[in-house]
Amino acid sequence: MSFRQSAIRLSQKSKSKSTAWASRQLRDPYVKRRVADAAAYRARSAFKLLEINDDWNQFLEQPDVKAVVDLGAAPGGWSQVVADKLAWGRGTIIAVDLLPIEPIYGVQTIKADFMVDSTTRRIRELLCNPENPKGKADVILSDMAANVSGNVAHDIEASLEICEAVFDFASKNLRSAQSVGRRKGGVLLVKFFAHPLLDQFRDERLKPNFNQVHYIKPDSSRATSREGYFLCQGWDPL
Ligand SMILES: C[S@@+](CC[C@H](N)C(=O)[O-])C[C@H]1O[C@@H](n2cnc3c(N)ncnc32)[C@H](O)[C@@H]1O
């Protein structure tokens, strides 16, 4: 087959792929809701956080929750949900992403790579204020995901690296259940890609250090995706 024929085949294939994507988008109830909703969230992923928060004792709405860090936040759907739950102005919300985030009232944004030390230092500086002199976070959210490469081993390794870095950050910056006086105080919600190595991460890192750890696959997360979330409540370090 000539190069031209192959190119035509490829373009037909990618056309049918993009048609399939478009028709899936049109059928997706969460995309429909986002388009129809007057308060339109910036991203479909906002519905995942709304669903998880509703299903798990509204952890974002607890009166002692005053500082939230949202990692991998662009375009800002989760931060919009958090700003809403924290009544647009109560407390500190810090959103971090490699990509720019359009301003959201009540949210401070950092455009940087979370995986470098200067970014975690910057987050800590923003968390520290007279009401929160120790600069602790009550909730840390991570929807961070590296670009999918198609190479499963590489993608799993990238997910594990992100989860480890998020856990390390949480271990230094999350308010403990004891200091809040609530068994479920100090919450980490972190996205991962399903693999036995991530189960090991949950068993060795998360379970010994939180009072409760749940595996969550929200209804609004596509069934075909390997993504899941660990919801960890009650930071109680060993
Ligand atoms: C699924 S999107 C997040 C969607 C977001 N929760 C929302 O509701 O709008 C994942 C994000 O992780 C970000 N990301 C991936 N690696 C990152 C890193 N090392 N540092 C900061 N952000 C990162 C990507 O740029 C991307 O915007």
Residues 27, 104: one domain? no
Counting the structural domains of the chain, the total is 2
> Which CATH number do you get for residue 215?
3.40.50.150
Q: Whose CA is nearest to atom 11 of ligand 1?
A: 72
Residues 94, 16: one domain? no
Residue type, 152: V
**Would you place residue 2 in the very low, low, confident or very high pLDDT band (cuts 50, 70, 90)?**
very low
Of the residues 31, 50, 51, 143, which should be mutated to test ligand 1's pocket, given the most ligand atoms within 8 Å of the CB? 143
- Helix (H) or strand (E) holding 127, with range, is helix 117-127
The stretch 76-80 carries a mean pLDDT of: 97
Q: Give 175's DSSP letter.
A: P
The stretch 111-126 carries a mean pLDDT of: 97
> Which region, left, alpha or beta, applies to residue 32 given φ > 0 means left and ψ of -120 to 50 means alpha?
alpha
Select, from the ranges 5-9, 135-139, 218-222, the one with the highest average predicted confidence (pLDDT): 135-139
Residues 110, 5: one domain? no
**Would you place residue 225 in the very low, low, confident or very high pLDDT band (cuts 50, 70, 90)?**
confident
Question: Which comes out higher in pLDDT, residue 89 or 30?
Answer: 89
Q: Is 146 in the pocket of ligand 1 (CB under 6 A)?
A: yes
- The Cα–Cα gap between 17 and 11 comes to 10
The stretch 102-124 carries a mean pLDDT of: 97
Q: What percent of the chain has pLDDT over 90?
A: 74
Active site includes 136?
Answer: no
Mean pLDDT of the chain: 87
- Does the ipTM surpass 0.95? yes
Cβ atoms 145, 228 nearer than 8 A: no
Residues 68, 18: one domain? no
Residues 23, 87: one domain? no
**Would you place residue 177 in the very low, low, confident or very high pLDDT band (cuts 50, 70, 90)?**
very high
Output phi, psi for 153, to 5 deg: -60, -40
Q: Which residues contact 50 (CB under 8 A, 6 or more apart)?
A: 81
Residues 108, 211: one domain? yes
pLDDT above 80: residue 31 = no
Which residue segment(s) compose the domain that 133 sits in? 43-235
Q: Would you tell me how many other CB atoms lie within 10 Å of the CB of residue 180?
A: 19
Residues 138, 211: one domain? yes
Cβ atoms 101, 76 nearer than 8 A: yes
Residues 95, 20: one domain? no
Residues 83, 139: one domain? yes
